[in-house]
Amino acid sequence: MDEKLSFACDYEKGAHPNILKRLVETNMMKTTGYGLDEISESARNRIRKACGCDKAAVEFLVGGTQTNAVMIDALLRSYQGVIAAETGHISVHEAGAIEAGGHKVLTLPHRFGKISAEKVAAYLEDFFHDASHEHMVMPGMVYLSQPTEYGTLYTREELVAFRKICDQYNISLYVDGARLAYALSYPENDVTLGMLAEVCDAFYIGGTKCGALFGEAVVVPNPEKIPHLFTIIKQHGALLAKGRLLGIQFDELFRDDLYMKIGKKAVMAAEKLREAMREKGYRLCFESTTNQTFCIMENKDLERLGQKVRYEFWEKYDHDHTVIRLATDWATTESEMSALIGLL
Amino acid sequence: MDEKLSFACDYEKGAHPNILKRLVETNMMKTTGYGLDEISESARNRIRKACGCDKAAVEFLVGGTQTNAVMIDALLRSYQGVIAAETGHISVHEAGAIEAGGHKVLTLPHRFGKISAEKVAAYLEDFFHDASHEHMVMPGMVYLSQPTEYGTLYTREELVAFRKICDQYNISLYVDGARLAYALSYPENDVTLGMLAEVCDAFYIGGTKCGALFGEAVVVPNPEKIPHLFTIIKQHGALLAKGRLLGIQFDELFRDDLYMKIGKKAVMAAEKLREAMREKGYRLCFESTTNQTFCIMENKDLERLGQKVRYEFWEKYDHDHTVIRLATDWATTESEMSALIGLL
Amino acid sequence: MDEKLSFACDYEKGAHPNILKRLVETNMMKTTGYGLDEISESARNRIRKACGCDKAAVEFLVGGTQTNAVMIDALLRSYQGVIAAETGHISVHEAGAIEAGGHKVLTLPHRFGKISAEKVAAYLEDFFHDASHEHMVMPGMVYLSQPTEYGTLYTREELVAFRKICDQYNISLYVDGARLAYALSYPENDVTLGMLAEVCDAFYIGGTKCGALFGEAVVVPNPEKIPHLFTIIKQHGALLAKGRLLGIQFDELFRDDLYMKIGKKAVMAAEKLREAMREKGYRLCFESTTNQTFCIMENKDLERLGQKVRYEFWEKYDHDHTVIRLATDWATTESEMSALIGLL
Amino acid sequence: MDEKLSFACDYEKGAHPNILKRLVETNMMKTTGYGLDEISESARNRIRKACGCDKAAVEFLVGGTQTNAVMIDALLRSYQGVIAAETGHISVHEAGAIEAGGHKVLTLPHRFGKISAEKVAAYLEDFFHDASHEHMVMPGMVYLSQPTEYGTLYTREELVAFRKICDQYNISLYVDGARLAYALSYPENDVTLGMLAEVCDAFYIGGTKCGALFGEAVVVPNPEKIPHLFTIIKQHGALLAKGRLLGIQFDELFRDDLYMKIGKKAVMAAEKLREAMREKGYRLCFESTTNQTFCIMENKDLERLGQKVRYEFWEKYDHDHTVIRLATDWATTESEMSALIGLL
């Protein structure tokens, strides 16, 4: 327990109360394991509906790194690699989970966490024109995160451009939606779940960072694309015995638009924070959209702030300045907001 | 939801009420992620105390297959394999999770789920005497489950014999305790947590099948044996972001002997069931100890029973008979017991 | 250098003189690497012709374990395993190369090194009927060796039966032909290269044990079955820079029936040996066909023989007897034969 | 067969005549397989002597990618990665062989193919200071190539600096010597085999590109560093059955300084070529040392040259210019040199 205010990340509290309530209500039910229960099936159907895709396969996994490792293995052949931003979660912060599955992460330079379809197209064109490309790792899919690790968003138009490239080279498109609630509910966002289901070979809807205790919902719009996904999940040690725990959480998150409401709350708090910071002359950076706010702070100011507030160190800016991240979430309260703004 | 009685397995309900209560109480706390919080630390200390091993490393993982895959990778070098009963969970029901980590499962014949130290000794002796053993997979550890997949138990004496062999060949001993509560509380059992900590290089205390929502607690009595276990866990996609959820569960399970109480309740119910079955002339098999009861049923009797009770198909016995499993657990009620016995 | 007679194995000498001669003749040629040269292309065409399969992909690799690891990886998806005899080379003597690629070897009992299509059918039927089969390793191919590790042969009828089963379950059939020359030239054999090309998804024609310095020629009758095989080979570290060295060897082996002649010579020598042994009352075992002869020897006789002859220890038979293997090869001379028979 | 002059690479011809001669002489010998024969042992001893390291383990492998994959697996633990130049062979041209073994290649920017000890030190310092480094791939070794893929050389002083950093962080240092002959014999080089044995945990002496048909000799100065290397080699499918073929080649290469003579011849030819190119106003680049010469050519000049000479395309320089590589080798003749210089 921490006496400080904390805006360090968006997974420091438990779950949205609706989820806990349902867990308590269903606790003494006996159901079949491994997600084959009726609550999980209900959750699947809510997600299919939200995505406008009746035939989609929906599988529930426990965490983000796990989901990425499973899905990348599922989408690639043994000799293929995955294209990602050099700042992508899979490139940096997954302790080599992708390589442990035998796949190289093929990194491209980013701009505020994003890569562009043009750069991917150029990469692919160069690759297949290289006389020695059969001695190299063949790119088999593109990994994007929405929002990115910098909180930035791809637009509908950008995603369509990625799809076009992927079709041209017959490779897969996958979107990591660990914080998808905060993207979907961001005012300027124009990418819906339905659109993701149209352009992606697979994507996941994040629960852990968006109000669940844990859990990520994988959507495969065209299930024939990945036969035996259940076995692949099991092989990765990613199959939850009491699978209904995941079903319960997503059944709640997709009941009465809770997932969107959770996102909206965090995003509005972040917008309010950014407004306050701009007013007080703070130097925001990386566009700072969705629920994450990045700021270049003087080290001496930061030291003072750090005595009262937990933040995330992002990177050194220069000798005297540091980039930090402040994250709001589904559980950020008015009083926390006031306290933080008061301290700025 | 199922109208039938179910004795199919021991993970069909949620969690022990104490665990749910604590989850609710702590829900709005903000804590550091990844198990670095103070509740997880408290749980670790309770487990260290229960094992009589202050210096042990204790890590919490989500599920059994995951835990086995992580720990086998952690204990082996890349060219080594793991010795296990041909009925071991890792040999049969983990969808190749061990092989996905690059390791062969070296199987030995079993008796009611158990292998013997003598057989392992003979295997190791033959192996290292084989002139071509450097062309084969070098055995690097022994995997046991306590209780086994057949509900049977290793004795203190047997475990000491395994330790001796492992020391002789400088290989590791690992115990899968997915159902450890039901072993520890079985009247004839003489293997304590303290003893496991003495003989094993690593073992895990099962939560999922013993009253938790999910979770397994790995104990490494001598932490220098496995440097960087945290990173290995992360690499396997097995690191829970909100790690305190695991801490909470084990903190409750190891408060006031709850883990033993849970085990005892299930074991006593199973003993009562076996008594009733023997009285009614059922043919029990596989020794049927701890919380699992195995029975050879005539197919026509089984069909009748199956209309009212969910059981686990174990294997075909002959053309007219089938072996089934009936499992009790921490949540089995008196009324469920009476109903089942009434139906026999 | 060894003063003893040696019948220990069939790869103790260098290469057939024709191969060495061609190596010397071509030594100062400059050719493109990686098997893209014209000699390799000529060898491919000779093999295609011998197999009656113009469209086959033919790739040259260096050794047997390597070839098996590459081809099993190429034919399986990440979650699949390979069915093999428990005595199969991949099951026992490849140091876990298959598991290093993430695949489980699913072993079946053998009879003199062979498995039967009936047993495979039963295994597959049981597997897919098991309610929990999605928690298990899905069989994705069948591995056979022709001749087997015991020198025995599959018949045409048997191979057709395997093909039928594989078609029924949509899995692949692969034949390891490390000693294929000795099968093809065995009088009672009815399996031709053309037939292998008809029934297999892939097979390899062994060079190392059949007169080459090293090298195995993989044949994929339907190349679309394995896209990007070149890259898979490279990824396994199995691509020879001076690929023409492999082309040269197979161009010679498949010129003027040399491969058959090599096989025939060894087989006739083995037949002569077996005749002599039977006459002298030796107990042959394992059918002892092709170029390998297995014999149960009294230990004291064996000790005496061992002072003059190098043989392969196969296994302990009982306290007083041992099974040994004597192998002839392309280079076995009349005088070696006379000397050996004289010593029996 | 190619009518053009070729300077495209250094492995287009067969082997140095001494090697072929020895192959022919020894062809009918019978020896134990897998490198356990007396010729291989003689070659090991010559290499130990050349390295001034009697206790070194020396193992012979077939090719470079294979050797890198084996040795990186042997030197790393499952959760570790290898630091390399972004231009390193393992980073780009090994089709993901390193990742197939589960290891990430951690790339650093290069200068003419080299990385600096300072950059590695900074990387390691940053890594271990990063609060989340246990979520990242732990660097476990440094990979260098000598000469680099650009033909450049590390100096004695630089290698000592790498050793110091590796000691400080307790990680391994490995040198890929695919073209080591051309480094050792370069006039300005001050790095000897003895020095490599002093600073490296392992390195390999390249045969394939330095006069052998194929083969690389791994040297592990302190064998306890890598137990069971033989099994690791076998597991990678990298163990040659007729291991003496490798022994023969290295026994010849290390007899009477042949390896140095081979290197010297190629280097002198390259120096002569560079002198001629400079005189004629060609723009050499990347320092152009050892046996590789890099040149920025106008595309129209290149087209003309390409009609007579095979060269290696290296990279596009700008719209009108291209960087090419011309390589000499042990077999480059006076007449080839005159012809090439005449065509420039």
Contact B228 D134 (CB under 8 A): yes
The string of DSSP letters for D35-49 reads T-SHHHHHHHHHHHH
Q: Above 80 in pLDDT, residue D120?
A: yes
CB-closest option in C92, C93, C104 to B99: C104
Residue with tokens 């069915």: C83
User: Rounded CA gap, A93 and A120, in Å?
Assistant: 22
Q: How many CB atoms lie within 10 A of CB D287?
A: 17
Q: Which chains contact A through at least 3 pairs of Cβ atoms less than 8 Å apart? A: B, C, D
pLDDT of residue B4: 87
Q: Which residues of D are less than 8 Å from C38 in CB distance?
A: 1
Which residues 6+ apart lie within 8 Å of D248 measured at CB?
A: D19, D22, D23, D26, D39, D43
C231-243 core/surface letters (b: 16 or more CB in 10 A; e: else)? bbbbbbbbbbbbb
Give the minimum alpha-carbon distance from A268 to chain C in angstroms, rounded to a whole number: 44
Contact D228 B102 (CB under 8 A): no
Q: Are C173 and C166 in contact (CB under 8 A)?
A: yes
Which residues 6+ apart lie within 8 Å of B145 measured at CB?
A: B85, B88, B89, B113, B175, B176, B177, B178
Residue type present at position B71: M
User: Rounded CA gap, D100 and C341, in Å?
Assistant: 50
Give the minimum alpha-carbon distance from C114 to chain A in angstroms, rounded to a whole number: 30
The string of DSSP letters for C266-284 reads HHHHHHHHHHHHHHTT-EE
Q: Are A249 and A62 in contact (CB under 8 A)?
A: no
Q: How many CB atoms lie within 10 A of CB D29?
A: 16
Contact B100 A23 (CB under 8 A): no
Number of H helices, E strands in chain D: 14, 13
User: Rounded CA gap, B131 and B128, in Å?
Assistant: 8
Contact D137 A99 (CB under 8 A): yes
Q: Above 70 in pLDDT, residue A234?
A: yes
pLDDT of residue D3: 74
Q: Above 50 in pLDDT, residue B273?
A: yes
CB-closest option in A23, A30, A95 to B235: A95
Average of per-residue pLDDT across D131-154: 96
Residue in chain C lying closest to B80 (CA): C96
**Which two three-digit tokens encode residue B191?**
């293997």
Q: Which residues of D are less than 8 Å from B134 in CB distance?
A: 228, 230-231, 234
Instruction: Please report the number of interchain residue pairs, chain B to chain D, with beta-carbon separation below 8 angstroms.
Output: 43
pLDDT digits (tens, 9 = 90+) for B278-292: 999 999 998 889 999
CB-closest option in A78, A132, A313 to D93: A132
User: Rounded CA gap, C221 and C55, in Å?
Assistant: 7
Q: What are phi and psi of C295, to 5 degrees?
A: -145, 140
Omega within 30 of 0 (cis) for the link into D223:
no
pLDDT of residue B287: 86
3-state secondary structure of D293: strand
Contact B134 D77 (CB under 8 A): no
Instruction: Please report the number of interchain residue pairs, chain A to chain D, with beta-carbon separation below 8 angstroms.
Output: 52
Residue D77 burial by Cβ neighbours in a 10 Å radius (0-12, 13-18, 19+): middle
Give the minimum alpha-carbon distance from B288 to chain C in angstroms, rounded to a whole number: 22
Average of per-residue pLDDT across D9-17: 95
User: Rounded CA gap, C90 and C98, in Å?
Assistant: 7
Q: Which residues of D are less than 8 Å from A89 in CB distance?
A: none
pLDDT of residue D1: 43
Residue in chain D lying closest to C25 (CA): D14
Q: What is the ipTM, given to two decimal places?
A: 0.97
Contact D103 A102 (CB under 8 A): no
CB-closest option in A81, A92, A313 to D96: A81
Angle, CA C217 vertex, CA C211 and CA C221 arms, to 5°: 140
pLDDT of residue C46: 98
Contact B239 A65 (CB under 8 A): yes
pLDDT of residue A1: 43
The sheet carrying A138-145 orders its strands as A57-61, A216-220, A202-206, A172-177, A138-145, A80-85, A105-108
Q: Which residues of A are less than 8 Å from C127 in CB distance?
A: none
Q: How many CB atoms lie within 10 A of CB D339?
A: 13
**Which two three-digit tokens encode residue D212?**
């052998």
Question: Which regions in chain C score pLDDT beneath 70?
Answer: 1-2
**Residues of chain A contacting D, Cβ within 8 Å:** 78-79, 81, 92-96, 99-100, 102-105, 131-132, 134-137, 313
pLDDT of residue B84: 98
Nearest to D331 by CA among D5, D1, D3: D5
Q: Which residues of C are less than 8 Å from A231 in CB distance?
A: 79, 134-136, 138
Q: Above 90 in pLDDT, residue D287?
A: no
pLDDT of residue B210: 97
Q: Which residues of C are less than 8 Å from D94 in CB distance?
A: 234-235, 237
At D288, is the pLDDT very low, low, confident or very high (cuts 50, 70, 90)?
confident
At B3, is the pLDDT very low, low, confident or very high (cuts 50, 70, 90)?
confident
Q: Which residues of B are less than 8 Å from C136 in CB distance?
A: 92-93, 95
pLDDT digits (tens, 9 = 90+) for A160-177: 999 999 999 999 999 999
User: Rounded CA gap, A252 and A46, in Å?
Assistant: 10
Residues paired with residue C138 on neighbouring β-strands, in sequence order: C80
Give the minimum alpha-carbon distance from C123 to chain D in angstroms, rounded to a whole number: 28
Give the minimum alpha-carbon distance from A243 to chain C in angstroms, rounded to a whole number: 14
pLDDT of residue A4: 87
Q: Are A79 and C79 in contact (CB under 8 A)?
A: no
Contact B95 C137 (CB under 8 A): yes
Q: How many CB atoms lie within 10 A of CB D55?
A: 10
Residues paired with residue A232 on neighbouring β-strands, in sequence order: none
CB-closest option in D94, D99, D313 to A102: D99
> Over chain A, what HEC string results?
CCCCEECCCCCCCCCCHHHHHHHHHHCCCCCCCCCCCHHHHHHHHHHHHHCCCCCCEEEEECCHHHHHHHHHHHHCCCCEEEEEECCCHHHHCCCCHHHHCCCCEEEECCECCECCHHHHHHHHHHHHHCCCHHHCCEEEEEEEECCCCCCCCCCHHHHHHHHHHHHHHCCEEEEEECCHHHHHCCCCCCCCHHHHHHHCCEEEEECCCCCCCCCEEEEECCHHHCCCHHHHHHHCCCCCCCCHHHHHHHHHHCCCCHHHHHHHHHHHHHHHHHHHHHHCCCEEECCCCCCEEEEEEEHHHHHHHHCCEECEEEEEEECCEEEEEEECCCCCCHHHHHHHHHHC
Residue B33 burial by Cβ neighbours in a 10 Å radius (0-12, 13-18, 19+): middle
Residue type present at position C287: E
Average of per-residue pLDDT across B238-250: 98
**Residues of chain C contacting B, Cβ within 8 Å:** 78-79, 81, 92-96, 99-100, 102-105, 131-132, 134-137, 313
Q: Are A258 and A181 in contact (CB under 8 A)?
A: no
Contact C102 B100 (CB under 8 A): yes
Residue D11: its H or E element: none
B126-163 core/surface letters (b: 16 or more CB in 10 A; e: else)? ebeeeeeebbbbbbbbbbbbbbbbbbbbbeeebbebbb
Q: How many CB atoms lie within 10 A of CB C126?
A: 11
Residue with tokens 């003895």: D194
Q: Which residues of C are less than 8 Å from B141 in CB distance?
A: none
User: Rounded CA gap, B106 and B82, in Å?
Assistant: 6
Q: Which residues of B are less than 8 Å from C96 in CB distance?
A: 79, 81, 102-104, 137
Nearest to A314 by CA among A299, A332, A295: A295
Contact C232 A138 (CB under 8 A): no
> Over chain B, what HEC string results?
CCCCEECCCCCCCCCCHHHHHHHHHHCCCCCCCCCCCHHHHHHHHHHHHHCCCCCCEEEEECCHHHHHHHHHHHHCCCCEEEEEECCCHHHHCCCCHHHHCCCCEEEECCECCECCHHHHHHHHHHHHHCCCHHHCCEEEEEEEECCCCCCCCCCHHHHHHHHHHHHHHCCEEEEEECCHHHHHCCCCCCCCHHHHHHHCCEEEEECCCCCCCCCEEEEECCHHHCCCHHHHHHHCCCCCCCCHHHHHHHHHHCCCCHHHHHHHHHHHHHHHHHHHHHHCCCEEECCCCCCEEEEEEEHHHHHHHHCCEECEEEEECCCCEEEEEEECCCCCCHHHHHHHHHHC
Q: Which residues of B are less than 8 Å from D233 in CB distance?
A: none
In eight-state DSSP terms, residue C136 is S
pLDDT of residue A19: 98
Contact A79 D93 (CB under 8 A): no
Q: Above 50 in pLDDT, residue A322?
A: yes
Long-range contacts of D38-43 (CB under 8 A, 24+ apart): D38/C1, D39/D244, D39/D247, D39/D248, D39/D251, D40/D243, D40/D244, D40/D246, D40/D247, D40/D251, D41/D247, D42/D247, D42/D251, D43/D217, D43/D246, D43/D247, D43/D248, D43/D249, D43/D250, D43/D251, D43/D254
Contact C136 B95 (CB under 8 A): yes
Q: Which residues of C are less than 8 Å from D31 in CB distance?
A: 1-2, 12
